[in-house]
């Protein structure tokens, strides 16, 4: 793929078809390319990229330990989108519960704060996705200095 990101996580999933329905139909990714014969798909959403590979116990798949649900414990994948509303609508229509309801959050980077609306949802294997929509930036006003 000519425009692949410099860092692309590859997630082992229990059922590629179920995962593709979630990642593509609900979140909005598209399949950039796939290898159905090996249970692999490379997904893209406006430059956010992820690879999904169906678990194959006959292949080591670089698995470093037991795969127990929920997978991906201790990590969340931040995915920037132009707007959250269509994704939230699709998830609600599909009956998917959110891990964390939508909220506004501001994160400091030196003397600036970046704002975003965000929510978290788990994919069918338990990988945690944090979808964000940028809402701007503002100067950081540190009132804790003495």
Q: Measuring CA to CA, which residue among 109, 55, 54, 105 is closest to residue 76?
A: 105
Specify the CATH class of 10-57+71-139 in words: alpha beta
pLDDT of residue 146: 46
pLDDT of residue 60: 67
Q: For 69-91, write each residue's pLDDT tens digit.
A: 888 888 999 999 999 999 999 99
Instruction: State the pTM of this model.
Output: 0.87
| CA gyration radius, the chain | 17
> In this structure, what token pair is assigned to residue 60?
């080591």
Please give the DSSP secondary-structure letter assigned to residue 57: T
pLDDT of residue 83: 96
Give pLDDT < 70 ranges for the chain: 1-2, 60-61, 143-146
> In this structure, what token pair is assigned to residue 88?
């939230």
Q: Hey, where are the domains in the chain? A: 10-57+71-139
pLDDT of residue 1: 59
């Amino acid at each position: 793929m000519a425009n692949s990101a410099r860092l692309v996580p590859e997630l082992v999933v229990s059922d590629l078809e179920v995962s593709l329905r979630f990642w593509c139909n609900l979140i909005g990714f598209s399949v950039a390319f796939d290898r159905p014969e090996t249970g692999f798909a490379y997904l893209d959403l406006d430059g956010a990229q992820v690879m999904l590979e169906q678990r194959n116990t006959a292949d080591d798949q670089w698995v470093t330990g037991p795969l127990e649900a929920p997978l991906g414990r201790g990590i969340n994948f931040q995915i920037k989108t132009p707007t959250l509303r269509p994704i939230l609508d699709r998830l609600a229509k599909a009956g998917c519960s959110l891990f964390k309801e939508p909220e506004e959050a501001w994160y400091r980077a030196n003397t600036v704060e970046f704002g975003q609306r965000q929510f978290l949802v788990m994919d069918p294997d338990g990988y945690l996705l944090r979808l964000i929509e940028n809402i701007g930036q503002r100067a950081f006003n540190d009132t804790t200095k003495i």
